[in-house]
Amino acid sequence: MLKQFEGLSTPLVADACVRLGVGVRVAPVGVAAVTAGARVAGRVLPVRHYGSVDVFLEVYGAARDGDVLVIDNGGRTDEACIGDLAVLEARAAGVAGIVVWGLHRDTPELVEIGLPVFSYGALPLGPLRLDGREPEALVSARVGPHLVTAGDVVFADADGVLFVPADRAEEVLETAAGIARTERAQAERIAAGDTLRGQTRFDEYLELRAARPGYSFRQHLRTVGGAIEE
């Protein structure tokens, strides 16, 4: 999945989802890479955290090479739920990266380990609680308002984190690649002096909008083959 994601971005994947009518599930703003430039893509390996590392050690037993551990810590900002040892063990289990709806710690060690980790940020304090475990602990994870499972894939880069149903991922990536080609061509034309207004026949759009109230720029772009909005 990461190889297919190479050369693409989460904005392109998001635009492809919109074009295909695939529901876009985006992690809350602020979930970002520990190391600048980190990228990851793969099957979701969901887990819910209750205050102890044992749930991570358990879920690693079900990991497949290339999975991305998605940790539901309720978006808490009063504790760091994952650190260097858990990340090292994740790498040993074949996990390709980690997305945390919460915080991490041991930042220098995580940078040295090199496994892509995305979280709200760092906090030195680990968990002081031990909550009761839900039956869904290893079945699904919440990330903001969204529920994700092993039936989803995750894409993460400098623009954020989003989730796509696994059975639509190939189609989404193919569409994203097509949008990328269109956008690159448009960018090259702008650099050569052909403005975006000219490329999208913007004056023509304004005339059509005046004659046909409700005619949207998005409709117009589909007619002329632009990709700026999706």
To the question of whether residue 85 is assigned a binding role by annotation, the answer is: yes
What's the burial of 53, exposed, middle or buried (CB within 10 Å: 0-12/13-18/19+)? Answer: middle
Rounded mean pLDDT, 15-25: 94
Closest CA to 80 of 58, 60, 110: 110
Split at pLDDT 50, 70, 90, the class of 230 is very low
What's the burial of 88, exposed, middle or buried (CB within 10 Å: 0-12/13-18/19+)? Answer: middle
To the question of whether residue 180 is assigned a binding role by annotation, the answer is: no
Q: Which domains does the chain have, with CATH numbers?
A: 2-171 (3.50.30.40), 173-224 (no CATH)
To the question of whether residue 15 is assigned a binding role by annotation, the answer is: no
Position 219 pLDDT exceeds 90: no
95-108 pLDDT tens trace:
999 999 999 999 99
pTM score, whole prediction: 0.90
Rounded-to-integer distance, Cα 117 and Cα 135, Å:
26
Closest CA to 98 of 22, 147, 159, 39: 39
Rounded mean pLDDT, 31-44: 97
Position 156 pLDDT exceeds 50: yes
Rounded-to-integer distance, Cα 135 and Cα 96, Å:
25
- Give the range among 100-109, 170-179, 221-230 with minimum mean pLDDT: 221-230
Burial 166-185 (b: 16+ CB within 10 A, else e): eebbeebbebbeebbeebee
Q: Which of 57-61, 183-187, 200-204, 209-213 has the highest mean pLDDT?
A: 57-61
To the question of whether residue 86 is assigned a binding role by annotation, the answer is: yes
3-state secondary structure 143-199: ECCEEEECCEEEEEECCEEEEEEHHHHHHHHHHHHHHHHHHHHHHHHHHCCCCHHHH
Could you please report the per-residue DSSP string of 17-56?
HHHHTPPPEEPPTT-EESSTT--EEEEEEEEE--S-THHH
Rounded-to-integer distance, Cα 101 and Cα 196, Å:
38
40-82 pLDDT tens trace:
999 999 999 999 999 999 999 999 999 999 999 999 999 999 9
pLDDT score at 228: 56
Rounded-to-integer distance, Cα 149 and Cα 152, Å:
6
Split at pLDDT 50, 70, 90, the class of 186 is confident
Closest CA to 126 of 95, 84, 68, 72: 84
Position 229 pLDDT exceeds 60: no
Mean pLDDT in the chain?
A: 95
To the question of whether residue 84 is assigned a binding role by annotation, the answer is: yes
To the question of whether residue 41 is assigned a binding role by annotation, the answer is: no
pLDDT score at 227: 54
